[in-house]
Amino acid sequence: MAILLLSRTPSHITPFHELLDYKNEELLLLASSEELDTYDLNKYAYVKGFNDFDINQNVELEAVRLAEKFNIREVVVTSEFDIIRSAKIREILNIKGQGVLSAIAFRDKIKMKEYAMSVVDVPSFSDISSPLDIGAFINRHGFPVVIKPRCGAGSVDTFIINDMDELTLLMDQGFIDSQYQIEEYIQGQMYTIDGLFYNGEILCSWPGRYLNSCLSFHEGKQASNVQLSQDHSLYDRLQQFIKSLITSMPMPKITSFHAEVFHTSDDRLVLCEVASRTGGGAINEVSACSFGISLNHMWIKGQCGLLDPIRLEREDKIFGWVQIPPKKGTLKFIPTEVPFSWTVNYQVRTKLGTTYDSIQNSGHKIAVAVVYGNSEEEAIGRMEEVTQWIEKKCIWG
């Protein structure tokens, strides 16, 4: 038997051979060419790298060709870019796991809200078959509105349109088509709910809130997030929100999940998005600090049917994470460690000599750090302190 692994990430993030090596099965790795040298290739029965991995359609073709030689029983992924492609591979090869219907429900923002609206509040929304649909939606709901890709990621090509002048400028560019959707703009604080779902139940989950939003990269900042304390006024409501939401979604047997929820001035909780994958930033690292597990590692093992029964309890500490965005120029120096004992995880996510022009998306960073505090306020203060220290130490040319 064989396990097919699709990966755009380096080995230290997805150490497949360590997580799966006690199974006497062949590991078949299709990976990003940029990350291939991070893997111990001797641990895999087959390895092939692909340029532009996220969009390279040869990945799917290679998977089908491999099935002619190997008896593939599982297809394992950890990236949202691979959710739909892996589901299609499974259905073609008749392999159990997350299917196309479930994958599309979590990637297509129209389908997602159609499922969710039966149990939670969602923004008013519409698909876009022509520019006339945009005008009709604005006539019904007014400004501001949000136009974004139905299956986008990283908040790329997401536009908040406040008036007719801004709409005219966007329409001048001529690229808004049926791959986009429009929805009402929801004013409110953005909260997150992250966790692990397995075999019909939530094994762990925790609410948090963004300090900088996922659109902050337009301002040269990056998203950061702090956990809510269990006595926070919204903690129980957000936990109930995710429990209700998953009852409406076609859940796979095993998945990590990431939900984003607005809290409005009239005290409503309104769904922004939900994904059947681990959230970005340092959410996976926070799961290790807070619950003693890696969401990604549990997700990988669970996709292979190797997830042992576990009982998870949350640490009393409050954890928060920050992303350090790049600046325009060439990175000459970045510290490899930080001097604060309350920084429990720090990772450089770039290479010296890399030249940057601008921040491209909500996941574009040169480093991430996880800190803890005994309260939300203390954690936030430490998040700000470590961010300022790292940014001050970096040297750009």
Given a contact cutoff of 8 angstroms between Cβ atoms, the answer to whether 85 and 69 are in contact is: no
CB neighbour class for 200 (10 Å; exposed up to 12, middle 13-18, buried from 19): exposed
Q: How far apart are the C-alpha atoms of 321 and 211, rounded to whole Å? A: 10
Domain holding 290, by residue range, is 188-396
139/278 same-domain check: no
Given a contact cutoff of 8 angstroms between Cβ atoms, the answer to whether 78 and 5 are in contact is: no
Given a contact cutoff of 8 angstroms between Cβ atoms, the answer to whether 304 and 20 are in contact is: yes
- Candidate from 73-87, 97-111, 158-172, 211-225 with smallest mean pLDDT: 211-225
Q: Look-up: residue for tokens 């929100």?
A: 241
Residues whose CB is less than 8 angstroms from the CB of residue 219 and which lie 6 or more positions away in sequence, other chains included: none
Looking at every residue in the chain, the average pLDDT score rounds to 94
**Rounded mean pLDDT of 339-355?**
96
213/347 same-domain check: yes
Domain end among 184, 202, 223:
184
Strand partners, 191: 209, 261
Q: Report residue 218's pLDDT band, with 50, 70 and 90 as the boundaries.
A: very low
**Rounded mean pLDDT of 240-254?**
97
**Rounded mean pLDDT of 37-51?**
96
Tell me the per-residue pLDDT of 250-281, one tens digit each, with 9 for 90 and over. 999 999 999 999 999 999 999 999 999 999 99
Higher pLDDT, 312 or 207: 207
Query: CA geometry: angle at 99 spanning 98 and 100, to 5°?
Result: 130
Does residue 147 lie within any of the structural domains? Answer: yes
Neighbours of 173 (CB within 10 A): 8
386/275 same-domain check: yes
203/302 same-domain check: yes
Given a contact cutoff of 8 angstroms between Cβ atoms, the answer to whether 211 and 225 are in contact is: yes
What pLDDT score does 307 carry?
Answer: 86
Query: CA geometry: angle at 120 spanning 115 and 124, to 5°?
Result: 75
179/201 same-domain check: no
What is the enclosing helix (H) or strand (E) of 169? helix 164-173
Spatial CA neighbour of 54 closest among 72, 28, 75, 33 = 33
Q: How far apart are the C-alpha atoms of 5 and 7, rounded to whole Å? A: 6
What is the enclosing helix (H) or strand (E) of 100? helix 100-107
**Rounded mean pLDDT of 42-67?**
97
What CATH number is given to the structural domain containing 152?
Answer: 3.30.1490.20
293/389 same-domain check: yes
- Candidate from 57-61, 148-152, 272-276, 388-392 with smallest mean pLDDT: 148-152
178/194 same-domain check: no
Q: How far apart are the C-alpha atoms of 85 and 60, rounded to whole Å? A: 7
Given a contact cutoff of 8 angstroms between Cβ atoms, the answer to whether 4 and 82 are in contact is: no
Spatial CA neighbour of 298 closest among 12, 78, 51 = 78
Supply 251's token pair.
């859940």
Does residue 111 lie within any of the structural domains? Answer: no
- Candidate from 97-111, 127-141, 218-232, 310-324 with smallest mean pLDDT: 218-232
Q: How far apart are the C-alpha atoms of 2 and 49, rounded to whole Å? A: 18
Q: How far apart are the C-alpha atoms of 36 and 255, rounded to whole Å? A: 25
**Order of strands, sheet of 355-356, starting from the edge strand that comes earlier in the sequence:** 355-356, 329-333, 395-396
SS3 content of the chain, % helix, strand, coil (to 5): 35, 30, 40
Q: How far apart are the C-alpha atoms of 375 and 371, rounded to whole Å? A: 12
365/338 same-domain check: yes
> pTM of the full predicted structure?
0.93
Which CB contacts under 8 angstroms, 24+ apart, belong to 373-377?
373/317, 373/318, 373/320, 373/342, 374/317, 374/318, 375/229, 375/318, 376/226, 376/227, 376/228, 376/229, 376/232, 376/318
Neighbours of 7 (CB within 10 A): 24
Spatial CA neighbour of 375 closest among 351, 345, 342 = 342
Domain end among 184, 202, 236:
184
295/338 same-domain check: yes
157/303 same-domain check: no
Spatial CA neighbour of 303 closest among 27, 31, 45 = 27
What CATH number is given to the structural domain containing 296?
Answer: 3.30.470.20
DSSP designation for 121: B
What pLDDT score does 379 carry?
Answer: 97
What pLDDT score does 133 carry?
Answer: 95
